Chain A
Amino acid sequence: MPTSLIQTESILAIDIGAATTRAVLFDVVEGQYRFIAIGQAPTTAEAPYKHVGIGVREAIRSLQAVLGVTLLGSQDDNLIVPSQPDGSGVDAVVATISAGPTMRTVVAGLLPDVSLQSARRLAESTYTQIVDTLSLADRRKPDQQLDDIIRARPDLILLAGGVDGGASRSIMKMLETIGLACYVTPEEKRPMILYAGNQQLASNAQETLSQHAAVFATSPNVRPSLEVEDVEPASAELADLTVKLRKRQLKGVDELYLWTGGTILPTAYAQGRMTRFLSQLYESRRGLLHVNLGASGATIAAGFNGDLTLGVYPQFGLGENLNALLQHTEIEQIMRWMSLDISANTLREYLFQKSLYPVSVPATLEEHAILQAIARQALYLAMRATQRRFPARMRMAQADRMPKLDLILAGGGAIADSASLGQSLLLLLDAVQPEGIAPIMFDQNNIMGSLGAAAARNNFLPQQVVEAGAFLGAGTIVSVVASAAIGDRVVRAKLTYEDGSETRAEVKFGGLETLPLPNGKTARLTLAPFGRADAGLGAGRSGSLTVTGGALGVIIDARGRPLNLPADPVRRRELIKRWSYAVGG
């Protein structure tokens, strides 16, 4: 469509994170949508504010100060919509939200390895904590199941099970147990229910459950046949239920709902939608990976030419859930990433103290080193959990090895707010451990979710904003996989710039090297591995390719995959420091 035919409305995107609320303005400049500016303020979902609208208005005021444009009415403090001839206001509003307590969720399915697994995957597409499961393998009596559901105090029950047209008796029994649990639960505490099972029983489910659930919804079967899993339609319905729950839990979300005309999405869902869109746009055959780590959780979205794998892990968030992180990992697994000599007890106390003040900022080197170590382990765990759900063709024989990807895009407070780009990059490389050759970009303003929400209003906006350079190019990563001893030469690299000049490097196993290549520039990279080392072109294969630059140029990571850190803590810390210096400190 010619640009002139595009509806040229300014869009304000509001993102209510667990720690920070952002107001982002997208508008048309010289016929193309651009990211114009961002305003930020602390999120006010929690006490003492208990109204998200306070933080939203603060973020908009901050945006007004940057823009020098009035967006809030002076009389009523309401958003001016549509934009006025004097330049005040905006034409449309969209919103994303990740703030709010983790959704306590019961998942139910028939076979533990089939529909229950699909229901779990569905639950992992938003901010849930699974508090109980029901399946045919469950040995509890129905009344015990009923009491356990009541005790679990779920906000949400996800019910899958049965292929379309398949067995119905077991599903009906499960419906009855869940219906009774809802019936005996006080009305104001009743959960929402999403039925995503055998479609022939959808009307039975509706009849049995709708009058006893806070909200009842159905979606297409997540497991229409034994061989096919399709979680996406149900995750769209789940996104809708998530926003409905937030409207019940958090004051001010209903007002935002009015401002946006209903265009509020869970942030992770919007990020997933944008990841899928970008993977389609760039026809990414090998895959496009988006990782986001913030106070509300870790979100991993991988798009494989339109297919999306989305994993949302509130338990790995760097906010209020930190005090429970040690339920998911050993303290030694966090300690291994520590760049300073810090005791396990100090780390344990940090986890509790930080969970009391999730919005606080590390002011000392020690606190920053602790947070960086926690962030690495949290993202590492989230990445490994999501990898298991990649399409079969993208899964590696070794569960902790990553497939080769076309692009890696990273955002979230933990990554975007590092002390330097080098630190952000190293955190990403340590946690994700990418393989092959791929450009890396940073979503330094955390607008990925906002773009995903804006896409619901305007198809052209996300593409144009991305192509206008809304993300920061960090450079191109070349990961070398080799069976070698530390210090052995593994690859010889030559970067030939557009003006014909060259930079060369010989990288040893265990090393990390950068070759300068500024943002917006391309160069010819020639790689000659030693022995059977794989520098992204195949084991032992040499070759050259054109690479794009970035703030950190071309980064050659020859530390091995999976990354094995020395057991000796002194040596490990020295190495971590050396790697940190290699990417600019």
Chain B
Amino acid sequence: MLAPAYHVLPLAAIVRERTLPIAGRVLAHPNQRVNAADVVAEASFSREHALINVARMLNISVREADRFIKVKQGSEVVQGALLADTGGLFARTVRAPRAGRVIAVGGGQILMEAGSARIELRAGLPGVVSRIIPERGVEIRAVGALAQGVWGNGRIDSGLMTSLIEKQDDVLNAERLDMSMRSLVILGGHVRDADTLRAAMDLTVRGLILSSLHSSLIQMARQMKYPILVLDGFGAMPMNSAVFKLLTTNAKREITVNAERFDRYEGVRPEVYIPLPVSTEPDEPQDFYYLAAGQTVRMRRPPYAGAIGIIESLRPGLSLLPSGLRAPAADVKIESGETAIVPLANLEIVG
């Protein structure tokens, strides 16, 4: 059976496609070195429109209105600019309600776009632009350590990481945050109160990497201006040992927290990158594997949620679980030394 990979890698070649949701302009060049926050592509789209019904406003026929309209498709107009004019001694006029661009004229009406929004696509990780995707974005290649999370609040930043987690099941609270952590990325455990998120904001931290988050804080975390990345999930979940080891041993390094929102169809997920110098470039990791004995796995659901283990054997047929359900399962030796029967659907390969 196939299982997805859960990337917790001390050293790997990381290749990520970064694309705009709509066609736009690519700003980066091939082989350009970029930082995570660099804008590599941009696009603009109109968020607000004004539909001006000239015929109705002047109380004339559609045909007449079309004749009196003075602007063309593509015209840029300022607020109050003349859009239509009946002419004559008692001329009646229609003026632009706001500045904008005329995008359609016809049927006695003018459609203007007023206020366009700009989408900026950031690199998301520090690396080299390895490919340009015309009108869409870039592919970026980097080398370093990689740790994936399960939830992000949609923000990206980089900075020096400091670790405030000593044990996998530590709780991070506001009292542990002080001025010495200003502008740092903080690695912490479980967060269960709003004060901690607020205190981190007051310190203008560059990011918060957490083992888990109380579910009542999700909305608030979305509103924070700094990246918040959750590694293991919601509820009081300890940090899994693989990522705990990787990140705590990399404290004091410059890291990037890409707390992108998980998109299961696009394959975008929150990740932590730690650029590392190498002489020989390592391989790209696989994204999925066939489950087999000897593989290191992470368990995704209770009773061992987050625990790391090694598959001892794949059990034939269906196995009876403590829940009473029957499912394809494996015998997994967990770090504690205990062997557990775990449904294959609850496993992901660490690698």
Contact = CB atoms under 8 A, between A and B. Distances in A.
A48 B288 contact: yes
Nearest to A101: B265
A469 B83 CA distance: 73
Contact of A361 (B49, B262, B301): B301
Contact of A367 (B5, B23, B111, B301): B301
B265 A357 contact: no
Interface stretch (B175-183, B241-249, B273-281, B321-329): B321-329
Interface in B1-29: 1-2, 4-5, 21-23
A147 to B, nearest CB: 6
B332 to A, nearest CB: 11
A498 to B, nearest CB: 34
Contacts of B338: none
Interface string A42-62: 101111111000110010000
A186 B45 contact: yes
Interface residues of A, number: 56
A187 B24 CA distance: 12
Contact of A360 (B104, B215, B301): B301
B337 interface: no
B265 A45 contact: yes
A368 interface: yes
Given A46-B265, A366-B302, A368-B324, A361 B4 contact: no
Interface string A161-202: 000000000000000100010011011110000000000000
A360 B323 contact: no
A368 B326 CA distance: 12
Interface string A31-46: 0000000000110111
B287 A348 contact: no
Nearest to B321: A363
A349 B323 contact: no
Contacts of A359: 345
A367 B323 contact: yes
A146 B234 CA distance: 38
Given A359-B345, A362-B325, A366-B302, A41 B2 contact: yes
Given A147-B49, A361-B346, A363-B303, A348 B215 contact: yes
B65 to A, nearest CB: 15
B221 to A, nearest CB: 12
Interface string B228-240: 0000011100000
Given A47-B269, A189-B21, A362-B323, A42 B235 contact: no
B205 to A, nearest CB: 24
A54 to B, nearest CB: 7
Given A47-B267, A101-B265, A184-B46, A363 B215 contact: no
Interface centre among A44, A47, A188 (most CB of B within 10 A): A47
Contact of A368 (B22, B287, B325): B325
B57 interface: no
A216 interface: no
Interface in A361-396: 361-368
A568 B221 CA distance: 36
A364 B323 CA distance: 4
Interface string A228-240: 0000000000000
A538 B94 CA distance: 73
A50 B265 CA distance: 7
A425 to B, nearest CB: 15
Given A46-B265, A47-B266, A146-B51, A363 B2 contact: no
Interface in B277-299: 287-288
A355 to B, nearest CB: 10
Contacts, number: 148
B119 to A, nearest CB: 11
A583 to B, nearest CB: 14
B48 interface: yes
Nearest to A357: B300
Contacts of A47: 4, 263-269, 287
A278 B264 CA distance: 37
A368 B303 CA distance: 12
B325 A417 contact: yes
A345 interface: yes
A359 B1 CA distance: 13
B235 A349 contact: yes
B84 interface: no
Given A352-B215, A363-B346, A420 B324 contact: yes
B343 interface: yes
B288 A353 contact: no
A187 B45 CA distance: 12
B323 A419 contact: yes
Contacts of B322: 363-365
A417 B345 CA distance: 14
Interface string A318-358: 00100000000000000000000000011011011100110
Contacts of A55: 2
A363 B342 contact: yes
A44 B2 contact: yes
Given A42-B2, A47-B267, A249-B265, A357 B302 contact: no
Contact of B51 (A46, A143, A345, A348): A143
B218 A363 contact: no
B1 A41 contact: yes
A348 B233 CA distance: 12
A150 interface: yes
Contact of B234 (A54, A176, A353): A353
A356 B235 contact: no
Interface of B: 1-2, 4-5, 21-23, 45-51, 103-104, 107, 111, 113, 150-151, 215-216, 218, 233-235, 262-269, 287-288, 300-303, 305, 321-327, 342-343, 345-346
Report the 9 A-B pairs with minimum CB-CB distance, sorted nearest first.
A47-B267, A419-B324, A48-B287, A349-B235, A368-B323, A143-B51, A186-B22, A361-B343, A46-B264
Given A55-B2, A363-B301, 20 more contacts: A47-B4, A47-B263, A47-B267, A47-B287, A49-B2, A50-B267, A58-B1, A101-B265, A147-B49, A180-B111, A184-B46, A184-B113, A345-B235, A349-B234, A352-B233, A352-B234, A360-B301, A363-B322, A364-B303, A367-B323
15 contacts: A47-B266, A49-B2, A180-B111, A348-B215, A351-B215, A352-B218, A352-B233, A353-B305, A356-B151, A361-B323, A362-B321, A363-B343, A366-B302, A367-B301, A419-B326
Interface of A: 41-42, 44-50, 54-55, 58, 100-101, 141-143, 146-147, 150-151, 176, 180, 183-184, 186-189, 249-250, 320, 345-346, 348-349, 351-353, 356-357, 359-368, 417-420, 423
